[in-house]
Amino acid sequence: MGRPKKTPIKLVNAPEQFEKDEEFGLTAMQAGFVWFYTEGACGQTEAARRAGYQFPAVAANKMLNGKDHPNVIKAIRVKQDELAEKYAITPQKTGTMLWKITENAYESGQFNAAVSAIKELNQLAGLSVNRSQTLNINANLDSMSKDEIKERLSKLLGVDSDTYSVKDM
């Protein structure tokens, strides 16, 4: 008998019926194909199948070859550009989202989350910078005197040896 099949998770809710697209001169089935191909989370053959084509692999190839149905390609490009703009991550969108998170967290008493969101906002705005510096030093500290170590550090850090104390070493 075997294990029962899992029902696939529905990622998007497709419209019940597609209508002709006058802007690009598409039929209802072509408009359905464009929607499923760009937003339906499936490949070209599955998009044609869901749009109702009898021979989906052939129909998908004809619609995407650029010769038989050039308007379908144009519609797909426009839809992909719209989706790219809609879901693009920009500093403005990120800042707005972080500010909303800050306000909601503060209002619900989640102060740690609010502080974390404000830290992220400050970083986004360039008000705070995380700096770390790793120096790869090939030196045997056991054989060096304190003055030699101090001189070597001054040279590596580019500062005068008088600017830091023995406690810093």
Instruction: Give the pLDDT confidence of 156-168 residue by residue, as tens digits.
Output: 777 776 666 656 5
Residue type (1 letter), 73: I
**Both tokens assigned to 61:** 């190839």
**Both tokens assigned to 95:** 């800042």
Query: What is residue 12's three-state secondary structure?
Result: coil
Q: Which residue has the higher pLDDT, 16 or 49?
A: 49
Neighbours of 146 (CB within 10 A): 9
**Both tokens assigned to 126:** 């360039």
Number of H helices, E strands in the chain: 7, 0
Residue type (1 letter), 165: S
DSSP for residue 23? T
Tens of pLDDT, residues 50-100: 999 999 999 999 999 989 999 999 999 999 999 988 888 888 888 999 999
CA angle 74, 91, 87 (to 5 degrees): 30
What torsion do the CA atoms of 92, 94, 96, 100 make, to the nearest 10 degrees?
180
